[in-house]
Amino acid sequence: MRWRSAAAALMWVSGAALALGTGELPPDLVAQDHNGTTQRPQDYRGRVLYIDFWASWCAPCLQELPALQRLYAERAPRGFAVLAINVDTRRSDAQRLLDRLQLSFPIVFDPDGVWPERFALPGMPTGYLIGRNGRVRHVQVGFREGDLATLELAIDQALEESP
């Protein structure tokens, strides 16, 4: 614990926050999604939630989002939810992509980067798989060929656990 706070102090000096890791609770944040519904990660407790950070300029994100849509459509009845945080500074850039992709999970527009700052995002895209107990189970940094299978497995394992 001592070491940890020392590391945190060091990171603060160097300008970086400590990244969110497995077993931890996600920051308590509240925002309105694109439908005006209030979104708060804590409210998903009891379900499996995937918080995905994306941007229109992030090419791997463009491959990840349709894959997430498929996972979401297949597993929503079993308690799987997706919350996508868009970090584009111009909303029109994000909207153009959304028009094309037809995603059915909630999108939060965060042009000021409040959420990624609090999560201390290590890269783009980054996704946090949060178990039914509300704790981070898996952090997906980047998205490459082959990552989908890993993610799918992690989601299924999380879904099988009781809250």
Partner 1 sequence: MKRGILALTALVWLAGCSTQPVQPWERGDLARPEMAFEPDPLLAGYRRHVEFSKEAATGGPTLGGGGCGCN
Partner 2 sequence: MRVQLNMTFRTPKLSALTSAALAIPGLAHAELQTDYLYSHYAEGDLPAGNSASGSASERYTIDSHLFRVGGNLGAGDANLNLTLETMSGASPWWVQPDANGKPVQVMSGASIDEERVDIEASYGMQFGPIEPVFKAGYSSEEDYQSVNVGVEAQYTPEGGVYSASAGIGYSDDRIEPTDGGSAKYPDRIRSADKNSLTAYAGLSWIIDAQTVLQTVFSYSLHDGYLTDPYKRAYFVSVANAVPESRPDGRQSWTLSARWRHYLPALAAAVHVDYRYFQDDWEIESHTVDLSWQQRLGETWLVSPSLRWYSQSQAYFYAPYYADFREDGFASSDYRLSPFGALSARLDVRKSLDQHWEVGGGVEVYDASASYAIRPVDVENPGLVEYYSVQARVNYRF
Q: Under the rule (CB under 8 A), what is the footprint of partner 2?
A: 57-61, 63, 121-125, 141-142, 144-145
User: 53: which strand partners?
Assistant: 85, 126
Q: Which amino acid is it at 3? A: W
Q: Which of residues 54-73 bind partner 1 (CB under 8 A)?
A: 55-59
Q: Which amino acid is it at 141? A: V
88 touching partner 1, by CB under 8 A: yes
Residue among 122, 150, 160, 163 that touches partner 1 (CB under 8 A): 122
- 3-class DSSP state of 19: coil
Partner from partner 2, partner 1, none binding residue 74, C-beta < 5-8 Å depending on class: none
Pairing of strands 48-54, 107-109: unpaired
* Cβ-based nearer residue to partner 1, 93 or 147: 93
27 touching partner 1, by CB under 8 A: no
CB neighbours of residue 118 within 10 Å:
14
Residue among 5, 32, 37, 89 that touches partner 1 (CB under 8 A): 89
* Cβ-based nearer residue to partner 1, 58 or 154: 58
How long a stretch of residues is the chain? Answer: 163
CB of 64 to partner 1, least distance (A): 15
The residue to which tokens 């894959």 are assigned: 67
Phi, psi at 114, each rounded to 5°: -70, -45
- Residues in contact with partner 1, counted by CB under 8 A, come to a total of 22
Distance CA 57, CA 88 (A): 8
* Cβ-based nearer residue to partner 1, 45 or 91: 91
Distance CA 71, CA 152 (A): 8
Q: Could you list the residues that contact partner 1 (CB under 8 A)?
A: 13-16, 53, 55-59, 87-89, 93, 113, 116-117, 121-124, 126
